[in-house]
Amino acid sequence: MRSLLLHPLAKPLVFVLCLLPLAWLVFGAINDQLGANPAEALIRSLGDWTLRFLCLTLAVTPLRVRTRTPQLARYRRMLGLFTFFYACLHLLAYGWLDMGLDMADIGRDILKRPFILVGFACWLLLLPLAATSFNRAVRWLGGRQWQALHRLAYVIAPLALLHFFWMKSGKNDFAEVAVYALVIAALLLERLVRYFKPKSRASA
Amino acid sequence: MFKHIHQPGHDHPVPSEITPRAAYESRRDWLRRVAAGAAAGGLAAWAARDALAQAARPGKLAALPGGKSAVAGAVTMEKVTDYKDAASYNNFYEFGTDKADPARTAHTLKTSPWTVEVEGLVKKPGKFGIEELLKLSAQEERIYRLRCVEGWSMVVPWVGYSLAELIKRVEPQGSAKYVEFVTLADKATMPGLRSGVLDWPYTEALRLDEAMHPLTLLAFGMYGEVLPNQNGAPVRLVVPWKYGFKSAKSIVKIRFVEKEPRTAWNKAAANEYGFYSNVNPDVDHPRWSQATERRIGEDGLFAKKRKTLMFNGYEAQVGQLYAGMDLRKNF
């Protein structure tokens, strides 16, 4: 497994896998496979995938530490950037398909509705993380500061969850939210546990 | 998007002069409409509109033809939504919360035998078998706009008769002010009941004058056939000027009461779903605007959404029911 993770083709393969949800959605849109309301299906699916990639990104370090698989580290940046990628598409789909790219309308909508505001705030918070993802930015910031900045992910995850919770709350439909909440809670708690364990080196 | 220009089963020519302006202004849409008109044979089909008003049958279920309705506003000339969409995109939480769920899971619903009990403040309470209800008054075809509170809409050719026909027969007492509709809640056949999303059974209610309005339909069919299970078979309510959730599905009890009843969605989120829930572009849902809507199957993926009309376009017919009322408070 560990040598597979280091295989030169492993990274491109994961990259392609990460694009599959998008490929499926584009295929579905072109072939009228997204049900009666394709716009809604696209916006929601892109949001779902953003949340899933966020969970995957946050799972890398706990998995790496707990299973002693340092090779996993080389996938973290790619998964994080895919989270940002799907977040951008989710925002674009909302702005375009739901709001007709009317910037004034979008601005008003963001300010008027806490549910939209929180989602937009998540995207804004992702911006500095994506912008400092390349190696030179890490060197420029210095490891410690870079790490401090990227702990923003711990703020983004609960906010993204709140955004999803609010979206579902009017319909009292919390089953799906609960699953993501459990996953994210577990991933964040794992970090707390490690942080407070004196012996092990705290690694984000 | 990517809709076929020629839709089998629905060769309705579209009289553009009564098409909502917002839709008409969209060039894409306009081009498609011209194409659809040409495909349907243009003027000849336009002249044969009355004959075509009876939507072509999808051929899935037993036929239930409806005659021409004399009720004002009963037949919109807008393009009828594809049966495929109307029968596969449903909010029917008893069969799951995803709108694709009911079409997959509602086959378990047993619609025969079926009785509707009428009780409460009426002189002639009683139980009506579905066969009896079907024959109680002449079935009419009503082509209504359907606006969901979620911001999408359809145009559905229902088959049924005015609820007022039934109400007149049971003779409400003077003290009856509201009509409550109780729908089926059967754990054995409805998988959605296992979730606590709503307080089952799903109930809805209207003020007596709303219930008596000729547009308020007791529906038994759509597209010239009996209702598919996922659309609320065998008998449901259709109140075209209110958000879709007011139109209770699979009704088993109609109760006449004096006080305004609590309704299922109102109990779940009173700040989001009011008792009246009239379609109103000026009163937003807390989490989204109600000013616009997406017409299912018609407005392309990248088309701007169309403007929502006051009372879903039925203001001329129902506006007087709410004269003097603050519709922001009584949302």
B147 touches chain A (CB under 8 A): no
pLDDT at A161: 97
B194 touches chain A (CB under 8 A): no
The model's pLDDT over A54-96, given as tens digits with 9 standing for 90+, comes to 999 999 999 999 999 999 999 999 999 999 999 999 999 999 9
Q: What is the C-alpha separation between A40 and B209, in angstroms, rounded?
A: 36
Question: Quick count: other Cβ atoms within 10 Å of Cβ A185?
Answer: 13
pLDDT at B281: 97
B2: nearest CB among A30, A112, A115:
A30
Q: What is the C-alpha separation between B149 and B146, in angstroms, rounded?
A: 10
pLDDT at B327: 94
ipTM: 0.80
Which of the residues in chain A have pLDDT under 50?
none
User: What is the pairing mode between strands B236-238 and B217-222?
Assistant: antiparallel
Alpha helices (H) in chain A, listed in sequence order:
2-6, 10-30, 38-66, 76-93, 103-112, 114-131, 135-141, 143-150, 153-169, 175-196
B297: nearest CB among A36, A98, A109:
A36
pLDDT at B11: 46
Is there a contact between A36 and B294 if contact means CB atoms under 8 Å apart? Answer: no
Question: Is residue A8 exposed (0-12), middle (13-18) or buried (19+ Cβ within 10 Å)?
Answer: exposed
Q: What is the C-alpha separation between B303 and B299, in angstroms, rounded?
A: 6
Angle (nearest 5°) at CA A125 between A97 and A55? 80
Residue B295 confidence (pLDDT) above 80: yes
Residue B31 confidence (pLDDT) above 50: no
Given CA atoms B22, B289, A99, A111 in this order, what sign does their dihedral have? positive
Q: What is the C-alpha separation between B94 and B252, in angstroms, rounded?
A: 14
Indicate the pLDDT class of residue B32, thresholds 50, 70 and 90. very low
| Chain centroid offset of residue B306 CA | 19
pLDDT at B303: 81
pLDDT at B287: 80
pLDDT at B55: 54
Q: What is the C-alpha separation between B265 and B204, in angstroms, rounded?
A: 8
Q: What is the C-alpha separation between A194 and A66, in angstroms, rounded?
A: 10
Closest CA–CA distance from residue B248 to any residue of chain A (Å): 16
The model's pLDDT over A69-78, given as tens digits with 9 standing for 90+, comes to 999 999 999 9
pLDDT at A203: 53
The model's pLDDT over B172-209, given as tens digits with 9 standing for 90+, comes to 999 999 999 999 999 999 999 998 889 999 999 999 99
In this prediction, residues B12-40 reach a mean pLDDT of 46
pLDDT at B38: 43
Indicate the pLDDT class of residue B18, thresholds 50, 70 and 90. low
Scan residues 129-158 of A and list those with Cβ closer than 8 Å to B.
none
pLDDT at A199: 63
Instruction: Tell me the backbone φ, ψ of residue B122, rounded to 5 degrees.
Output: -130, 155
A48 touches chain B (CB under 8 A): no
pLDDT at B3: 43
Smallest Cα–Cα separation from B204: which of B277, B97, B120, B98? Answer: B277
Is there a contact between A171 and B197 if contact means CB atoms under 8 Å apart? Answer: yes
Is there a contact between B272 and A170 if contact means CB atoms under 8 Å apart? Answer: yes
Q: What is the C-alpha separation between B155 and B157, in angstroms, rounded?
A: 7
User: Which secondary-structure segment (H or E) carries B157?
Assistant: strand B152-162
Question: Quick count: other Cβ atoms within 10 Å of Cβ B294?
Answer: 24
pLDDT at B168: 98
Question: Quick count: other Cβ atoms within 10 Å of Cβ A135?
Answer: 8
Question: Cis omega before residue B113 (within 30°)?
Answer: yes
**Stated length of chain A:** 204
Is there a contact between B88 and A109 if contact means CB atoms under 8 Å apart? Answer: no
Question: What is the reported pTM?
Answer: 0.82
pLDDT at B288: 84
Half-sphere exposure of B209 (CA within 13 A, CB side): 8
Instruction: Tell me the backbone φ, ψ of residue A169, rounded to 5 degrees.
Output: -65, -35
